[in-house]
Amino acid sequence: MTAIWVIWAAVLLDLLIGDPRWLPHPVIGMGKVIRRVEGWIRHRATTAQGLKRAGILLPVIVAGGSFVLTWLLLLLCAAIHPWLAWGAEIVLIATTIAVKGLRDAGLEVYSHLCSGNLAKARYSLSMVVGRDTDHLDEPEVVRGTVETVAENIVDAVIAPLLFALIGGAPLAMAYRAVNTLDSMVGYKNEKYESLGWASARLDDIANWIPARLTAGLLTVVAAMFSLQWKQAIAMVKRDARKHPSPNSGFPESAVAGALGIRLGGENSYQGVISFRAYMGDPECALHAEHIRVTTRLLLGVSILFTVLGTAVLGLITAAGGALWL
């Protein structure tokens, strides 16, 4: 049953302090390792085919290494004292989730819009998205914020918590490594199409179940908050698979349906226009309040999944078939 309390303590720790800048974050270390391994690979593989084969090494080295190093660290802590191992595991799992950080990022944009400072709202949005924000009007700033918060519920909350429930901090840290790899090398462009294909595919696989779980949880929480939960179900069925990502469309379409808004449309990336399929019906115009409601959905889904996940883990443990490694 210790595993259950570790998960809850990690979630509460994230809700309380998030990711303070003074605390070294594992993702920074992962990023440095990824760049070094990438450089090592590119020095030795000079053809597209060679890069494609070598691309398999990235998730093996980075994700596999993250799992092993975390496991060894916890083993060392346990040899010193069990409480040290529990404390280390709580902190490590907390670094893989970002409920507070994602919520704060959304509410920062919301606060600037409420005070009428569109320029600051654009800047705050630019810190969490890759699209150009300099010329966005208020509805487009709202759209970008809602899309970002909705999409990241999967990889910032549900997926790492799911893997933590299955395999503790080692598996949660391996997932975070996969997600970091995808954000750094998982692009379909000339530079990374060959090298990053394995990392991008593994990230899609890792998020497949969490994305669909998130859509279901969003529907339940929407019903709890007296939002349009039936419309959320309908939009997931109709629009989720229109998204270029096999996973991101599920939380985005669920949020669009629950709020009665339309997401998607034209985005600009370094001046290049890209169209993303529409999700949801424009029953009402986008406004700042939609950001606040989306952050409430984020918090509700995070707590609901923690309750349900630890309850299932408790039942499995009681039945003698614990999943905890």
Read off the pLDDT of each residue in 79-95 and give the average, rounded to a whole number: 96
CA distance 55 to 51: 6
| pLDDT of res. 321 | 53
CA distance 279 to 318: 42
The number of C-alpha atoms within 13 Å of 204 and in the hemisphere containing its C-beta is 13
Query: What's the predicted TM-score (pTM) here?
Result: 0.93
More confident residue, 190 or 150: 150
The number of C-alpha atoms within 13 Å of 38 and in the hemisphere containing its C-beta is 16
Position 283 pLDDT exceeds 50 = yes
Token pair recorded at residue 82: 């069990």
| pLDDT of res. 325 | 45
Give the C-alpha distances (Å, rounded to integers) separating 206 from 164, 200, 202, 210, 318: 13, 10, 6, 8, 27
Token pair recorded at residue 84: 């040290």
Q: What is the number of other CB atoms lying within 10 angstroms of the CB of residue 140? A: 18
Q: What percent of the chain has pLDDT over 70?
A: 98
Residue among 6, 188, 135, 170 at smallest CA distance from 82: 6
Read off the pLDDT band of 324 (50, 70, 90): very low
Read off the pLDDT band of 322 (50, 70, 90): very low
